[in-house]
Chains A and B, each alone.
Chain A
Amino acid sequence: MNTTIFEAEGLTKQYGSANALQNINMQIKQGDIYGFVGENGAGKTTLMEIISGLVYPTKGTIQLMGKSGEKDIARIRKKMGVLIELPALYPHMNAEENLNFYCKIHGISDFNRIKDVLHLVGLTDVENKNTSDYSLGMRQRLGLAISLLNEPEFLVLDEPINGLDPTGIVEMRKLLAKLAHEKGVTILISSHILSELQLLATKFGFIHKGQLIKEVSVEELLQSAETQICIKTVEIEAAINVLKNDLNIHSITLSEAGEILVPKDLTDLEQLMSTLIRNGIPLEGINLTTANLEHYYMDLIGE
C-alpha cells in the first residue's frame, strides 16, 4: 500500500500575475483518502484540473501512478475517475443514456456496469428520468456514477457532496469509504463540509492562497488536536473571572454557541467543577471536547 499514486514537484500555476498554485510538493499514496482543505480560490480545483489534464502547469511536474510525461500520463488517466465541480450531464438524456455515452468514451461494452454504478449511487429508481428533472443532489450522485464507470484506481472529487441531503451525505461517505477500504481506490477529495471530510479522509492537505501549508495524517490531526473542557453556564463573565482568579487559567476561549473552552491540560476536571460550584456559578453542563478539523484549519491559516 506504499505505491505513490500522485506526486507533484514544484507545481506552479499562474494566471497572468496571479499565482493559483505556488510550488506545490505533495504525494498521495495508494489507498489514501486525501482530504483537500482550503477556502474558495485557494487552488484546490486548479490542482484537480491539472491532475485531470484540463489545465497545464506553468512550472513543475506531476507523476500519475508512476508515469510522467504528457503522453504516458494521458494514457494512465484511463484508470482515473473525476468529478470536478458540476457533473457533466446531458439534460436531454436519462441517467442510463448519460452513463451509456460515457461507457462508449471509456470503451466499456459491458452494460451491466451501468446498472452496477446506478445501484452504487442509489439512482436505480430514477434511471429513466431525464437529468434535466434531477435535483442537485441527484445530479451529484450521477456525476459520481460517471466517475466510477471505469472502475478507477484513483478518484478525483471536487466538492462531491455539494447539494446532497443529510442522508445523501452519509451514503456518499459510506460509499467512498467502501471504495477505499474494499477496492483500494485512492481518493483525492475536497469539500467545504469539514466535519464530513474529517470522518472520511485518512490524510489532509491544507491549501491557502495557492500554497500547500500543511499535510497531516488523521492520526497526527487527532494527536495535535487539543482536548478542551467545555463549560455551559448562563453566567459567563462570572465563570471566566473564577477561572482566571481562582484557577489561574488565562487561556480561555468562547465558542460561537457561547460555551467557555479551557485546554484540558491546564486543569483537572473535578477541581474545575468544584471551584465553579463553590463560587456559586450555575452549571448547565460540562464536558470534554476534541478540537476538530475546522478549528485546526482556522488555527493554521491564523483566523
Chain B
Amino acid sequence: MRDFLRAESYFMKRDTMFKGISLLFLIASLVLAFWIGRKSGFEIGNLAEPLTIVTPLSLFFYFIIPVYVCFFATEGFEYGSIKVILASGQSRFIYITGKYLSVFKIIIWWILQFTVVFYLAYLIAALIIGTDIGNRNFSADLIQVSRVLGLNVLYLSAYAALIIMVGILIKRTASAVVVTFLIIFGDFMISGYFRDVSSAWLRAVSNHTLTTQVMKFSGIYVVNSQHIVLTGAKSFMEVVLIPVIIIAISLSVTYISFGKRDIHA
C-alpha cells in the first residue's frame, strides 16, 4: 500500500491538471482575500474572523474537485497503468483504497492551501493597512470554522467515493466525466428547484441532497428568505450521517464490482 501511495503522489506532482487546479485555487484565494478585504476595509474582529468569511465560499470546491477525482479515478484505464500495477502484485483492494486515500490527501491539501493562503493574504494586508485586530468571539468563530472545514473534508470525501465508484464502473474517462457533471449539477438542481415545491416528498429529497447539507453547514442555505443553520443534535447527526452512508455504499459497490471484474488491456 505504501508503495502504491508513493507512486500516486508522484503521479499527482507531475499531473498538469493537478498543478493547474492548485494554481487556480491559489489565485482564487489571493484574489478573494484582497477583493473581500477591500470591501470590508480589512476589519478583523478576531484572529479567526477572516476564516469565517472564506468558509461560506467553499461551495465552489464541489464544482472542481469531483471532476479532478473523476480523471484521477480513471487514469489507470486511460493510460493502461492499471495493467502493470495489478500485474506487479498489488491487489485490487489496495488499488481502490490507495486511490481513495490519495484523493483524501488531495482534498485536505486543496482545502488547506485555499484557506491558509486566503487567511495569510488577508492578515498580511490587514497588518500592512494597520487594522486593529480584536478578540471578540474568537473561540466561537474558531469552532465554527473548524466544523465547516471538517465537514467540507467529509462531504468532498463522500463526493470522491461516489465519483470513484462511477469512474471504476464506467472506466472510460470521457463518459465518467459526463456522469460526474450530471451528479454534481443534478444534486445542485435538485437542491435548488425542489426546495420550495408543494410535494413533501420532493422537498424531503431536496432537503437531504449533498448540496443542501453543504449550504446548511456553510451558513448559506436560505428558504423563504430565512437563513437555515444547523441547530440541535438531530440536524448535526443528519449532516454527518448522509455523507458517511454515501461513502460506505459507494466504496462497498466499488470494492465488490472491481474485485470481480476482468480488466482488459
Cβ contact within 8 Å between A49 and B3: no
Write the nearest CB–CB distance from A245 to chain B, whole angstroms. 56
The 0/1 profile, CB within 8 Å of A marked 1, for residues 71-85 of chain B is 000000001111111
Write the nearest CB–CB distance from B37 to chain A, whole angstroms. 37
Interface residues on B, range: 20 to 34
With contact pairs A52-B86, A54-B87 given, residues A92 and B16 touching in the complex (Cβ less than 8 Å) = yes
Closest chain A residue to B94 by CB distance?
A: A74
On chain A, the residues within 8 Å of B260 by CB distance are: 56
Closest chain A residue to B75 by CB distance?
A: A90
The 0/1 profile, CB within 8 Å of B marked 1, for residues 233-262 of chain A is 000000000000000000000000000000
Cβ contact within 8 Å between A56 and B262: yes
Closest chain B residue to A87 by CB distance?
A: B80
Partner of A49, one of B15, B80, B265: B265
Closest chain B residue to A52 by CB distance?
A: B87
Q: Is the C-beta of A213 less than 8 angstroms from some C-beta in chain B?
A: no
Cβ contact within 8 Å between A88 and B88: no
Partner of A82, one of B7, B83, B91: B83
Cβ contact within 8 Å between A49 and B262: yes
On chain B, the residues within 8 Å of A45 by CB distance are: 265
Interface residues on A, range: 35 or more
With contact pairs A85-B265, A107-B3 given, residues A75 and B89 touching in the complex (Cβ less than 8 Å) = yes
Cβ contact within 8 Å between B10 and A86: no
Cβ contact within 8 Å between B10 and A104: yes
**Given the complex of chains A and B, what is the CA–CA distance between A85 and B90 in angstroms?**
20
**Given the complex of chains A and B, what is the CA–CA distance between A99 and B6 in angstroms?**
14
Q: Is the C-beta of B263 less than 8 angstroms from some C-beta in chain A?
A: yes
**Given the complex of chains A and B, what is the CA–CA distance between A146 and B14 in angstroms?**
18
With contact pairs A54-B264, A54-B265, A92-B16 given, residues A101 and B88 touching in the complex (Cβ less than 8 Å) = no
On chain A, the residues within 8 Å of B3 by CB distance are: 104-107
On chain B, the residues within 8 Å of A80 by CB distance are: 87-89
Write the nearest CB–CB distance from B263 to chain A, whole angstroms. 4
With contact pairs A77-B89, A93-B14, A107-B3 given, residues A88 and B84 touching in the complex (Cβ less than 8 Å) = yes
- 12 interchain pairs, CB-CB under 8 A: A45-B265, A49-B264, A53-B86, A54-B86, A54-B87, A54-B262, A87-B80, A89-B79, A89-B80, A90-B79, A92-B15, A147-B84
Closest 7 CB pairs of A and B: A88-B80, A104-B7, A52-B87, A77-B89, A78-B89, A107-B3, A55-B262
